[in-house]
Amino acid sequence: MDFRDRHIVITGGAGALGTALVGALVEAGAICHIPCFDEAEAQRFALREHKQVELTVTGNLADEQAVARLYERISTLWASIHLAGGFAAGPLRATSAATMRQQIDMNLMSCLLCCRAAVNAMAGNGGRIVNVAARAALEWRSGAGMTAYTASKAAVAALTAALAEEVAKDGILVNAVAPSIMDTPTNRNSMPKADYSLWPKVEEVAATIMFLASPENRVTRGAVVSVYGKS
């Protein structure tokens, strides 16, 4: 896939999935804009000095002004990929209102605000938007024990389908992926007895995202693509 000289925003680009995706995108010629929460996150990012990577310390992506500043710096935006989010487990009876709002901000509001900014930045030029939902966003019963997270990610899936219909005539194709538990060092540490061979690898999930964000994707829109591996 040829992304030569195409400007792409990747939120959550400094994470495990983001690092795999940014690595593949720069190899394909893309210019990657990575918002980081703080300077410490920026310094941890392995590709921070790559000539095709532009890091900005953006702060909270649930903040309208922070998101506006991020996108207004990019002259011609091709794609916006939204990996940023957060996870909280626990039964609803024990979940505070603050945690519920945090999950909505981290998973839904950050995605929604970046989608809006991307649509405005792409006006008249077309482009691609890819969101990240979750398996529980499609299989609601599997979200028992993490209800606030499940609800916020289900909202991301609904946002994806609705926005895809809204902007299709503008040449903007909006899709999402819904991963199961991915094979990352953090997930291995938290579940040491799991069978890691069943989990999708971040490089595999990144490959699906790349296609959805690519010029080669000419017709797929409104999809929430399950990327479960063998799990």
Active site residues: 149
Please tell me the predicted confidence (pLDDT) of residue 231.
87
Strand order in the sheet with 53-57: 53-57, 31-36, 7-11, 77-82, 127-132, 172-179, 224-227
Q: Residue 214 and residue 224: Cα distance in Å, rounded?
A: 16
Q: What is the average per-residue pLDDT within 60-68?
A: 97
Element of type H or E holding 27: helix 16-27
Q: What is the average per-residue pLDDT within 65-81?
A: 96
CA 151 from chain center: how many Å? 17
Q: Residue 174 and residue 224: Cα distance in Å, rounded?
A: 10
End-to-end CA distance of the chain: 28
Picking from 8, 62, 58, 61, the residue whose alpha carbon sits closest to that of residue 31 is: 8
Q: Which of the residue ranges 102-111, 144-153, 193-202 would you say has the lowest mean pLDDT?
A: 193-202
Neighbours of 216 (CB within 10 A): 10
**Helix (H, G, I), strand (E, B), or coil: what is residue 208?**
helix
Query: C-alpha angle 148/153/157, rounded to 5°?
Result: 145
Picking from 192, 214, 190, 201, the residue whose alpha carbon sits closest to that of residue 81 is: 214
Please tell me the predicted confidence (pLDDT) of residue 177.
98
Supply 47's token pair.
Answer: 């590709």
Residue 137 reports pLDDT greater than 90: yes
Picking from 170, 171, 184, 231, the residue whose alpha carbon sits closest to that of residue 83 is: 184
pLDDT band, very low/low/confident/very high, at 19 (cuts 50, 70, 90):
very high
Strand partners, 178: 226
Residue 164 reports pLDDT greater than 90: yes
Q: What is the average per-residue pLDDT within 123-142?
A: 96
Please tell me the predicted confidence (pLDDT) of residue 65.
97
Q: What is the average per-residue pLDDT within 211-217?
A: 98
Residue 75 reports pLDDT greater than 90: no
pLDDT band, very low/low/confident/very high, at 111 (cuts 50, 70, 90):
very high
Give the chain's mean pLDDT.
96
Supply 204's token pair.
Answer: 């595999």
pLDDT band, very low/low/confident/very high, at 31 (cuts 50, 70, 90):
very high
Strand partners, 67: none
Domain at 7-227, CATH homologous superfamily: NAD(P)-binding Rossmann-like Domain (3.40.50.720)
Task: Yes or no: say if 167 and 116 are a contact pair by the CB < 8 Å rule.
Answer: no
Q: What is the average per-residue pLDDT within 160-169?
A: 98
Torsions phi, psi for 190 (to 5 deg): -80, -20
Q: Residue 98 and residue 80: Cα distance in Å, rounded?
A: 28
The fraction of the chain above a pLDDT of 90, given in percent, is 96
